[in-house]
Amino acid sequence: MSVQLQIALLISLFGAGFVARRLGWLKPPHAGRMLQLVMNVGLPALLVASISRIHLTRDLLALPLSAVLISGLTLLAAAWVGRALALPRPAQGAMVICSMSINNSFLFVFVLAAWGGAAFAQLALFDLGNAIMQGTVLYATAAWYGGHGTGLVAILRRMAGFVPLWAVLLALLMNLTGLTLPEPVANALALGGRTILLLVVLALGVLFDVTLLRSARLAYTLALRIGLGVLLAAVCVWVFDLQGSLQSVVLLGGLAPIGFSAVAIANRESLDRELAASAASMSVLLALAYVPLALWLLHPASG
């Protein structure tokens, strides 16, 4: 499927969810069930298929480390902003996890088409750091803000029931021990995961709250994910002395929109899912405009 068709599919699914909500065909509880399916089936399948097949080498460790640093430092900044705005706890939690969630999946098709397979593999390595953060620190943060328990034991219990975390651990174990899935199985998991993940876009349309478009909380969330994200990416490029395609991949990753999985996590942990859905939706709509320009400006001169 071409890049244009994939963009059209995403926009159509979002529009279908938005219209279905207004016609009364779909309601927030339906969106919640879609997100649960993504969290328990689609995302784990995609994580196992992708992480288990990544070739890990020492010289490429700067890529996942950059994602970890960007996500972790954004967490601290977003937590401070949420408190400064005196937002309700569920809204603070949604702002924090959306700000630190990097949607590399959105970038994959663009990078493959514009920069080729080598840069695509490097972006997948960058996403490994994001996936590890998402399955551990990001989810623990969501559980803490969700009020399901403020103690370490209570949060660990919530994390133990987080299926994507087990998927990340299984995939890393397979990668480090050299175990591989048969190619048809791995391809089926990847295809199934990506297909189920599309339900998030439909759910975004159902949950999208037009009244939030002029809200400060939405603007700050977008600024933290995209604006602060690319600034921290530039710091990582300088710290790790990245050149060529490695530099381009990290900078583009810093510019990525909000990850769809943040909406599913917000739903699971009783955070402000309307804010999460609206922020994720707006970030993707903005990314459709600026990512092609970024691909042109950042095009690596060498691999």
What percent of the chain is predicted at pLDDT more than 90?
32
**pLDDT computed for residue 303 by the predictor:** 44
Task: Tell me the pLDDT of the chain averaged across its residues.
Answer: 84
Q: How many CA atoms lie within 13 A of 18 on its CB side?
A: 14
pLDDT at 195 over 50: yes
Residue 8 parent element (H or E): helix 3-23
- Check whether 78 has a pLDDT greater than 50: yes
pLDDT at 149 over 70: no
Query: 43, 33, 36, 30: which is closest to 206 by C-alpha?
Result: 30
**What's the pLDDT at 1?**
59
CA-CA distance, 161 to 133, in Å (whole number)? Answer: 16
**What backbone phi and psi angles, to 5 degrees, belong to 258?**
-70, 135
The per-residue pLDDT for 236 is 96
d(CA 131, CA 124): 10
Residue ranges of domains in the chain: 3-297
Exposed / middle / buried, residue 177 (Cβ in 10 Å: 0-12, 13-18, 19+): exposed
Distance between CA atoms of 74 and 189, rounded to whole angstroms?
A: 31
Q: What is the CATH topology of the domain spanning 3-297?
A: Na+/H+ antiporter like fold (1.20.1530)
At 248-289, the pLDDT tens digits run: 999 999 999 998 788 888 988 889 988 998 898 888 888 878
Mean pLDDT, rounded, for 36-64? 80
What span, in angstroms and rounded, lies between the C-alpha atoms of 244 and 57?
18
More confident residue, 88 or 164: 88
Radius of gyration of the chain (CA): 18
Please state the pTM of the whole predicted model. 0.76
Query: Using CA of residue 163, residue 166, residue 172, residue 173, what is the dihedral sign?
Result: negative
Question: How high is the pLDDT of residue 167?
Answer: 82
Displacement of CA 254 from its chain's centroid (Å): 11
